[in-house]
Structure 1
């Protein structure tokens, strides 16, 4: 990142994913154990800062125990400050003590702490809890104020002023220039009418200047250093090896053993779900390739190719069954089942998209003989937790990128073992 001119990263995620129904944090968290999250988040922060990139712990004071996506609405977490100290704040305490240079505040309400439903990013929790009680002296930045948790009740422009009044140093408006300009204009009005302290802005400016000096240098020449091409080539080589090893080490067998797969009796059937919105944090980066009424994401196409390089295979994209999940499989799929030597059934957050589980049940009912089937949970690991009748082997990749799915293919075909461990309780 530093070679590319990046000197600030909004990482690590320090949220404790204590709620399995969380629709927005999920696999971005290091797990549901506060101490484990603290350990890994601190390691990421150290790695970034040692590489001269400012880290940013998010989403203070914790976005893990919610079933509402703050991109869409305001999550309300009914916990006291003492309860937060036991779970959500554990990683942040560790990161503050280690000197994390920046912290991002999140858009969730804590009415038992603040006394109302104001999002934490706009409330005095920034000053009262983070700065005064926890002793944090670094830069505080808000999450994007265009998210509906703020935009719907306040507008991003008004939210920007409220965040600055609450003690934030930097307010983030990611997408819309008009809103960015409006926020600047409303900030000037707030200064002029005395509702926003000019002195507090000066203090924020000092903290920001110190951050820039530490991670960007004293001039643009420090930022735009001459590109060292051989250093870049060596780094890319080392990072490629590290990436392959990391994905292999994180692929996890939730339930086994895995059957031995060969294509002697017919093609290996790879079934991936039609693409649908996951959440607004990642949807913008998820291009969808259309094929008639079906949509296969490029990552699943890459996985199908990974399987094809190892065995005779066929890739089908499955869609919700008719009759509220009680209908029959399409003829094309029924015919493919009869010819398949093995089935790899890929799910993606099926605990929230229950139609995938309905489809799997129908497939298990219609498949013939002892054709082995492996379930690959390609995002969260909770996909069939609510389906005790489904007992097939389950592998988790925790990520539906081409690299993660390639590592999963290596496990499925016996090239290496699944060495990961579950970071959450199922």
Structure 2
């Protein structure tokens, strides 16, 4: 939660400013001297510092110097009652965000604070993003997101990765199923071996057997030389079959035999080749329904679906949209050698209101177009079909999710943060399908 730290040696001023700001919905903490404030601050302080210049002991300019050494991007607003223009110039040269002369109106201070808080929010979000990306060896750097749904998905992946079981990954188009499969491989004992991906919907049926199992020279017309198939290439590692519901029934039977016998035969050969691999299948529809329709073998389903992971669509984790958009936009800006373009509040609101039928893949495209300056204002067309009521509902659900996550499921803190009575909060949580248990720390969920 963003905070204001206000420092002034005069108690009446501290009390008045605290009252003004809290009535405006801001969280405020006051200190009587600079030394007290320094003990409360670190480089990740999520807010803004407001300090009087003339104070006993360490004055405001000395405090500003210390704060800039601690964090050069921390917004510091300086206040003085002396109308000292040279002092104001010195403060701004040392990196002060703003300089306000006493007596000042609440509106003057609030305006400066809101701009500074927004700047600080963006700085903190970018730092969090860069920390995630820098930790590529950690799963947070591969599966970005702060939503409870993504935290749960990462937890499930880390539990399954060290095992040998086959996994079925379910999710909509563009939701990141292959990324999940790669994490299962990367964080398990097979990480040093091959990860072999095959999109079952992209292979003509007549080529499936050769593609999966390989062939010997002369096995069929045009087979000039031996070919190692995808299954054999994945020996010791992981075979990822995307859109596995598109696998022809004849090849389903042969894949089942490989999983049961742990051997394969290349097309045109009678020699059995031992293989040891983990199979991860990705699917959009419900495979049980495909089994009932006769399009998928039930016995193969049981072999593949030892464990199942569901990748949530982007519309179910809207709190991840700003982080993901910023990440993709920064990557696109670097790729195209462009300066990152700031995202206006109205553009972000449109992104948050959109349902993202193409999920993360669609968001990548939106970020790319934003960086290239294409298509007008980002998200302008995205949310157009949705009514105002639907957009307000989506925004309300997003606010509730953020508050529950920030307060780690503590309902009393959520009530205080959102200024809602218990009954109203309960009704809204129920309407949006939110449960406090999903936001509790992992150790408190038992």
> What TM-score range do you get, normalising by the shorter chain?
under 0.3
- The structure whose residues are more often helix, as a share, is 2
Superposition TM-score, scaled by structure 1 size: 0.24
Decide which structure has the larger Cα Rg and report it: 2
Greater relative CO, 1 or 2 (CA 8 Å, sep 6+): 1
Q: TM-score, normalised by structure 2?
A: 0.24
